[in-house]
Structure 1
Amino acid sequence: MARDKPVQNSSSSTHQPTKFPNLVTLVGRGIPSRFEIAVDGQIEMVDADPLETATIVSGGVAEGTIDVGIQQFRFSGEMANVHVADWNGNTAPTSKSVPAVHVDYGVER
């Protein structure tokens, strides 16, 4: 009986890790709020124009404003700090109006 040669999946041996494997998502709650995200690696905005959203991304820090919708950032390293405050300067848990923040590690694109 003839036996077929096993076929190796070449994509698994050439798979490149994602440069920014982690994801942070901000979800606005309808109230203008400001945020600052700091990581110990690098950070970049996902699928948005920082000029349109008035978001500043520099090295390992992103800061800006959000009221509705979502803003996402990919980053390398670990999350160092997240600060969110509503338009009055109140932070969570005092203010239920600040954006929700979700951090996911090891998320492929």
Structure 2
Amino acid sequence: MARDVPVRSQSAQSTDPLPNLVTIVGRGVPASYEIAVDGDLEMVGQDPAADATVVTDQVAEGTIDVGVRRFRFSGRMANVHLVDWNGVPAPDSPHTPTVHVTYDASTR
């Protein structure tokens, strides 16, 4: 299904180079995630090496059981892939992390 391009007023546009935010929330069970964007991507407030998170220019992948992982990005979310500790993908498993995407997060 095609999505419409969001319409934003000039006053709502941000000058932040990474204005969008994706938050991954663990559900208390080990799970894996992979997110991809069509712009630039960086992890927020954490050391990717310490969290065993692989972050490239446009893709991040890692594991989570509790807590949150946050990433700032430009462009749009291209893909999200979530699996629980048994390899069962979302939405078939209630144990996969939840993902929240906020566009223009810097204006809020």
Specify if TM > 0.5. Answer: yes
- For the residue of structure 2 that corresponds to 1:102, the secondary structure is strand
Identity %: 59
Partner SS, residue 49 of structure 2:
helix
Residue 68 (structure 1) aligned with residue 66 (structure 2): yes
2:83 aligns to what SS in structure 1?
Answer: strand
Q: Deviations over 1:47-82 (max 9, x none)?
A: 000011000110100000100000000000000000
Q: 5+ unaligned residues in a row in structure 1: which ranges?
A: 1-15
Displacement after TM superposition at 1:40 (Å): 0.3
Aligned length: 94
In the superposition, the TM-score normalised over structure 2's length comes to 0.84
1:1-109 alignment runs, 5 A limit:
17-108=15-106
Q: Which runs of 4+ in 1 moved over 4 A?
A: none
Whole-angstrom CA distance in 1 between matches of 2:29 and 2:53: 17
Measured in 1, the distance between the counterparts of 2:27 and 2:64 equals 9
Normalised TM-score (structure 1):
0.83
Q: Which is worse superposed, 74-83 or 87-96? A: 87-96
The runs of 5 or more residues in structure 2 that have no matched partner are: 1-13
